[in-house]
Structure 1
Amino acid sequence: MLLLAVDTATPAVTVALHDGTSVLATESQVDARRHGELLLPAVDRILAGAGLVPADVTDVVVGVGPGPYTGLRVGLVTALTFGSALGVPVRGLCTLDGLAYASGLAGPFAVATDARRKEVYWARYADARTRLTEPAVDRPADLAERLAGLPVVGAGAVLYPDAFPDARGPEHQSAAALAGLAAELLGSPEGPSGESPGGTSGGSPGGFLPPLPLYLRRPDAQVPKNYKVVTPQ
């Protein structure tokens, strides 16, 4: 197995290679405005650094969000293009699940990432591998009581310390963690969790998802409702 993992659902542009046993190479850069510019060169560098070529990749996993519209689509389109060109399966994982896995926490906690508009994307976890709730988007103040007493992992917790006083790392997503979680799921006796023979899934918490964007809300850009039509005289 050579698993390529990518995620651009957060400000981190992150990629990793995993051989089914361990991470072979990884690279992450935090830049919320340059996902499209940074992702493919990073993939090229980690493949070259590991002495590999794209044709060696057997599986692709991509973070499906939740995340902002433009950045999220960069990773998904790149992953789907690799899958199509190489003829390999492309599987999605919730970006919050990658952060939860990277935290290594054994008890109940939550993950929160920055959703902008003074909101966070979040979910609750029983442990680093078990998500209890579907991802959601809410204002931190509305979550303070619901998550009181729980550690909260991610940049969303760091941004809003009044609502999330027990903020934990990591702050940003890591494709290495996403790849490690994917390798565990692929190597489990039951096979890819929740997955159908066609490579998609029913989306059960903690398992693979279809490689489709998880937005949770409308994009910022909207078509004007009352625009002026200009016609030739």
Structure 2
Amino acid sequence: MDTATPAVTVALHDGTSVVAESGQVDARRHGELLLPTVDRVLSEAGTTLDAVTGIVVGVGPGPYTGLRVGLVTAATFASALSVPVHGLCTLDGLAYAAGEAGITGPFAVATDARRKEVYWARYTDPRTRTGGPSVDRPADIAEELAGLPVVGAGAVLYPGSFPDARGPEHVSAGALAALAAERLAAGEKLLDPQPLYLRRPDAQVPKNYKVVTPK
């Protein structure tokens, strides 16, 4: 599952291929949509949650609220089922999906980070990240990525900086699961299921904060 972007996406994978997948793009309803999407995927696959033997969750980078929905849900399922939970960079899942769409590389991936910025990473091929993830204003990285296809909604939002914008725009849980299955089968260790924010929190203690104590 992944909720690091406006897409709420869930898939069931049997270790060889995707059995069922469902998703919806809605940046404001991650918490409302995720569990019904899980139920829909399990129903389409003709199975139940207690048959799941492992959880893979996108760890971002992404905005705080949406990202936490997926991570907390994954951790809750893993605890209830006593199964492992693995993290995977959301941008890596989008890069893998780009490969399934026929993009071979080199290329970059960019998702919307809001505040007129993008989360981005650079890839030599759909499985190999060579730079990032980072968060920057599009104009600040336009020269660095000049001449490269840039995959994702972040590229589509800023055509002036990324003239060769490509789809898919959003990550697919099916691609995320397939990449995780490949890496696990190869004996690779995946990420801990911890959020990858790349930004300081919006709420911070003001500078020169004056502490008032009773006399």
- Give TM class, smaller chain: over 0.9
Tell me whether 1:167 sits opposite 2:149 in the alignment: no
* AA in 1 matched with 2:191: L
1:212 alignment partner in structure 2: 194
Q: CA deviation at 1:223?
A: 6.3
What do the CA deviations read for 1:105-151 (whole angstroms, capped 9, x no partner)?
Answer: 22210000000000000000000000001300000000010000000
1:114 alignment partner in structure 2: 112
Cα separation, 2, equivalents of 1:221 and 1:43: 32
* AA in 2 matched with 1:15: V
Normalized against structure 2, the TM-score is what?
Answer: 0.93
* AA in 2 matched with 1:68: P
Cα separation, 2, equivalents of 1:223 and 1:34: 29
Contact residue 15 and residue 26 of structure 1 kept, 8 A: yes
1:200 alignment partner in structure 2: none
Tell me whether 1:88 sits opposite 2:86 in the alignment: no
Q: CA deviation at 1:218?
A: 2.1
Tell me whether 1:21 sits opposite 2:19 in the alignment: no
Cα separation, 2, equivalents of 1:43 and 1:107: 32
Percent identical residues: 78
Contact residue 68 and residue 219 of structure 1 kept, 8 A: no
Normalized against structure 1, the TM-score is what?
Answer: 0.86
For the aligned residue pairs, the C-alpha RMSD in angstroms reads: 1.8
1:202 alignment partner in structure 2: none
Cα separation, 2, equivalents of 1:178 and 1:223: 37
Unaligned 5+ runs, structure 1: 1-5, 196-207
Alignment length (residue pairs): 209
